[in-house]
Structure 1
Amino acid sequence: MIRYVLFTSLLLASSLAQASLLTPFRNEDGSTRWQYVANFSSGVLIILLTLVVIVLFTTWRRAKRYNIELEEIRAHLEERVKDRTAKLEQEVAQHVVTTQRLQASESYIQNILNSMPLALVGMNKDGTITHWNRRAEQLSGIKAEAAISHNIWSIYPDMTVTPRHIEQALEQRKAVTLRYSQPGSYHMDITVYPLENYSEPGVVVLVDDVTRRVIAENMLIHHDKLSSMGELASAMANDINIPLQAILFDLRSFQNILDNGHLLPAENAPNADTERLHQLLQNAAENGQQVESVIRNLLQFARGRTGESQAANVIDILEHSLTQANDVLSRPDAMAFNSICIERHFESDVPQVPCYITELQQVFLGLFRHAYQALVEKAAKQDPAFTPTIKLYVGQSYDALSIRIQHNGTGLSSEEQMYLFEPYLHSGNEEQPAAGADKRLSFAYFVVTEQHGGHMAVTSDPDVGTTFHIQLELH
């Protein structure tokens, strides 16, 4: 601004010096009165400087006012920044506290889910895994890191739950319950729950291992059955034994009288009819003795077990079961059991095994009956050179006792092997009894696997024969 005023003054002075404006400052003789010119220029300059000063003062006052306003705005902004910072710090502190609480709650829920004795699997509607707890890891052998975000059927094809079960739970909006079991190994209750009030449709699958409960229930049921059978066997044995003893006494008395010849005149010699009568009496006496042996076995079975397992020698139990089989297994139109060749292959110093002796006797007797029927069936088709044989093997295998009962009778087909240890009704067709129900060994399988915690299997070939495999834990 000052430069502008000075520049204007110079231009003005130059103009005054060169223009006609200097006329009032000239003398009559035409000379210029420079004193007046200087005074006039000084006055003009003073006026201009005054104007400059006024402009500068006004500008300064305005700048000062602007500075004050800027300071006020700055102070206001700083105050707002402080307030906002304080609020942000408070919000951050609350957010930290909320985050900590959420993390604590999530960790608590996670610990609860991992501590559950049930396997818990979360899935969306397509079967993609969203949660996999520790029990699921133990049952499947798959870590959660390898399972989450993967399809359940791709990483665990044996999963019992199918896509249809998930669709059913989501459509009906209620739980779907399944039962999966492997007799003698495990029993599982599986429940599929639909998720509610969740953005993405999904389900939660709970797998409950109810093996112990089912085993306890089955043992209780079978114990009740055995008790009822024992009472029935005892009543039947006592009811049959009295008239049987009377019949046997009469048969022996009649045979003694016949042997002494009291029924024949002294001059008559024994003839063919007399011999036939002797043979009939002898057969009746033998059949009566077999019935008496059956009654003894029924009475022994009726006494049942003591309620606790006891250490026993399996070889002795096998031999006793063989004795029972010799007494009770026979058919009028076929060979007797005691005519079968028995081969014994027993290891020395076989340790005793904790068991229920009566139940094991019934198991072995059932296996001998099954072998006897197969041998009789094959003997009817074979040439006279066929030798019915049962081989018995007993030996120790690590921490278990191995028992094998092998015969060379008619073997089992693949379908018969599949249903051999099942109950008397086909699964899926409970209204019709299974074919060959009299050849089933479900009771023997239950006694070995459930009551004794052992294992039982069968290998067979229709042309070679059948082998039953039993393993009993020594401890």
Structure 2
Amino acid sequence: MTRLTLLATLLLSSPLAQASLLSPFRNDDGSTRWQYVANFSSGVLIILLTLAACILFVTWRRARRYNLELEEIRGQLEQRVKDRTAKLEQEVAEHVVTTQRLQASESYIQNILRSMPLVLVGMNHDGTITHWNRKAEQLSGIRADNAIGRNLWSIYPDVTVTPRHIERALETGEAQTLRYSQAGSFHMDITVYPLENYSEPGVVVLVDDVTRRVVTENMLIQHDKLSSMGELATAMANDINTPLQAILFDLRSFQSILDSNRLFPEGSPQSNEAERVQHLLHNAAKNGRQVESVIRNLQQFARGRSGEPEDANVIDILEHSLVQANEALSLPDAIPFSSIQIERHFDPDTPLAPCYVTELQQVFLSLFRHAYQSLADKAAQAPAEFKPTLKLYAGQSYDSLSLRIQHNGIGLTSEEQMYLFEPYLHSGNSDQPAAGADKRLSFAYFVITEQHKGHMAVTSDPAVGTTFHLQLELL
């Protein structure tokens, strides 16, 4: 409307337009026909107003249509926003649930790893610790906070696992198994597992304390040995005893004949041989009685022990074992056991101790045999002034009975001391037995530590001698 008004104004303002447009509104005499002017102006104004109204109506319709479209678009946008908000809320809720599950799973896994009865150590390829569970803390005394992120060998240099074990596990992709043992204390199985499907190369080290299993296996082996020895002792004793008794009976009969002078009458040429034959018979009878004593010991051992330990005087058992050693221990071309000087240092107030008498006798006899071998070897090498000596100590120490058996024979090396009580192979080659396996005291150690719940140890020096330490509980 503004444009039409402006156009009309311009047309009317020009002289030519005024002359052409106003001519119908003038009389011949040049006067203005105001009635025509008013009517024309009203008509023009009505037309202009009508046009303006039409334009306004069209504009309103367009604006309404645009508003409706905007309202529709706005509604669609609001719906999209609502849908997107609902979807985001659902995703957030799902993410929260997933996060909680992941946290719960991680916490559960961490609790499993921390509560494992095995030592678990996670490491990357250069030995930096990534995991350190509670058992590792207890064994090493190092907290996980102080271990994670540090090199294993810098904080625990005594560990058996070496960098070469980790490299071998990563190179081969196979687990590496190690065995670490200290006889009489503990046995550990160590396994190095390479990690699979992991972004960074690494390994997991598991340390399993198998001491109880090894002790149980040792017990089974020793029980089997004991059973086999009992059966063998019974068979040997029964097989030997019958002909031995016949031989002893014949010896006593022949000696009786000699004593009666019926075989070699006095004054006969053979009477001079009677004394010599009598001496030979006496020695044969003495040796026969020694064999008979050995058989009785074998039979006593074969009968085994009772179900419960009995209170006994350990000093008496020790003395009886000395008698057995005098009768049973001998080596060809060596000093007899009876020539060994025995020094007794016994506390007169030594109390009775609960024990299995037969097994304890076997322990003492095994120790005496071991000592006798060392003394005989040193006597063969030492000068004539060497005096083989065996010292025995017994007395109460707090709530235990303390025993020591000491000799001045050839002592044990550090390696021999380490494996003296170990029944298994200790070399890397399982086909080769340990050196000096026939001189082991694993059975004696088993009887003291497992059957009597006591303690047994050895201290030795090759140039000085050896001392066996035994401790039995009195309660």
**TM-score band w.r.t. shorter chain:** 0.7 to 0.9
Distance 1:209 1:353, change over 3 A: farther
Does 2:394 correspond to 1:406?
Answer: no
Distance 1:426 1:290, change over 3 A: farther
1:239: Cα distance to partner? 0.5
The separation in 1 between residues aligned to 2:208 and 2:265, in whole angstroms, is 80
1:472: Cα distance to partner? 3.5
Distance 1:66 1:346, change over 3 A: farther
The answer to which of 279-288 and 139-148 deviates more is: 139-148
Residue of structure 2 equivalent to 1:26: none
The separation in 2 between residues aligned to 1:139 and 1:452, in whole angstroms, is 28
Kept after mapping to 2: 8 A contact 1:184/1:450:
no
1:128: Cα distance to partner? 2.3
Residue of structure 1 equivalent to 2:358: 358
Residue of structure 1 equivalent to 2:281: 281
Residue of structure 2 equivalent to 1:328: 328
Kept after mapping to 2: 8 A contact 1:410/1:464:
yes
Kept after mapping to 1: 8 A contact 2:175/2:192:
yes
CA deviations 1:436-475 (Å, max 9, x no partner) are 4443323323333444444333222333322112233445
SS at match of 2:294: helix
Kept after mapping to 2: 8 A contact 1:424/1:440:
no
Show structure 1 runs of 5+ residues with no match.
1-61
SS at match of 1:189: strand
Residue of structure 1 equivalent to 2:465: 465
Aligned pairs (5 A) from 1:16-27: none
Residue of structure 2 equivalent to 1:122: 122
Residue of structure 1 equivalent to 2:20: none
Distance 1:121 1:348, change over 3 A: farther
Sequence identity percentage: 78
Residue of structure 1 equivalent to 2:21: none
The separation in 2 between residues aligned to 1:307 and 1:94, in whole angstroms, is 67
Does 2:380 correspond to 1:389?
Answer: no
CA deviations 1:259-279 (Å, max 9, x no partner) are 3322234455953x4433222
Kept after mapping to 2: 8 A contact 1:394/1:401:
yes
The separation in 2 between residues aligned to 1:119 and 1:461, in whole angstroms, is 37
1:220: Cα distance to partner? 1.5
1:207: Cα distance to partner? 2.4
Distance 1:252 1:157, change over 3 A: same
The separation in 2 between residues aligned to 1:424 and 1:179, in whole angstroms, is 13
The answer to which of 160-169 and 221-230 deviates more is: 160-169
Distance 1:348 1:123, change over 3 A: farther
Kept after mapping to 2: 8 A contact 1:219/1:451:
no
Residue of structure 2 equivalent to 1:11: none
The separation in 2 between residues aligned to 1:177 and 1:451, in whole angstroms, is 32
The separation in 2 between residues aligned to 1:429 and 1:87, in whole angstroms, is 68
Kept after mapping to 2: 8 A contact 1:188/1:209:
yes
Kept after mapping to 1: 8 A contact 2:337/2:372:
yes
Kept after mapping to 2: 8 A contact 1:424/1:437:
no
Kept after mapping to 2: 8 A contact 1:187/1:210:
yes
Kept after mapping to 1: 8 A contact 2:355/2:452:
yes
Does 2:83 correspond to 1:93?
Answer: no
Distance 1:122 1:310, change over 3 A: farther
The separation in 2 between residues aligned to 1:237 and 1:71, in whole angstroms, is 116
The answer to which of 352-361 and 231-240 deviates more is: 352-361
Residue of structure 2 equivalent to 1:164: 164
Distance 1:415 1:207, change over 3 A: closer
The separation in 2 between residues aligned to 1:70 and 1:351, in whole angstroms, is 110
Aligned pairs (5 A) from 1:232-243: 232-243=232-243
The answer to which of 173-182 and 379-388 deviates more is: 379-388
1:398: Cα distance to partner? 4.3
1:101: Cα distance to partner? 1.6
Distance 1:143 1:343, change over 3 A: same
CA deviations 1:10-64 (Å, max 9, x no partner) are xxxxxxxxxxxxxxxxxxxxxxxxxxxxxxxxxxxxxxxxxxxxxxxxxxxx999
Residue of structure 2 equivalent to 1:25: none
The separation in 2 between residues aligned to 1:158 and 1:228, in whole angstroms, is 41
The separation in 1 between residues aligned to 2:89 and 2:245, in whole angstroms, is 103
Does 2:102 correspond to 1:102?
Answer: yes
Kept after mapping to 2: 8 A contact 1:120/1:131:
yes
Aligned pairs (5 A) from 1:65-76: none
Aligned pairs (5 A) from 1:167-316: 167-262=167-262, 263-266=264-267, 270-271=271-272, 273-316=273-316
The separation in 2 between residues aligned to 1:210 and 1:436, in whole angstroms, is 26
The separation in 2 between residues aligned to 1:309 and 1:414, in whole angstroms, is 35
Residue type at the aligned position of 2:358: T
CA deviations 1:185-219 (Å, max 9, x no partner) are 22223333332222222222332222222222221
SS at match of 2:243: helix
The separation in 2 between residues aligned to 1:72 and 1:431, in whole angstroms, is 91
Structure 1 length normalisation: TM-score?
Answer: 0.77
Residue type at the aligned position of 1:346: F
SS at match of 2:127: coil
SS at match of 1:467: strand
Number of equivalent positions = 466
SS at match of 2:366: helix
Residue type at the aligned position of 1:134: R
CA deviations 1:366-393 (Å, max 9, x no partner) are 1111222233333445566544321112
The separation in 2 between residues aligned to 1:189 and 1:415, in whole angstroms, is 22
1:72: Cα distance to partner? 9.5
The separation in 2 between residues aligned to 1:171 and 1:184, in whole angstroms, is 36
The answer to which of 237-246 and 386-395 deviates more is: 386-395
SS at match of 2:169: helix
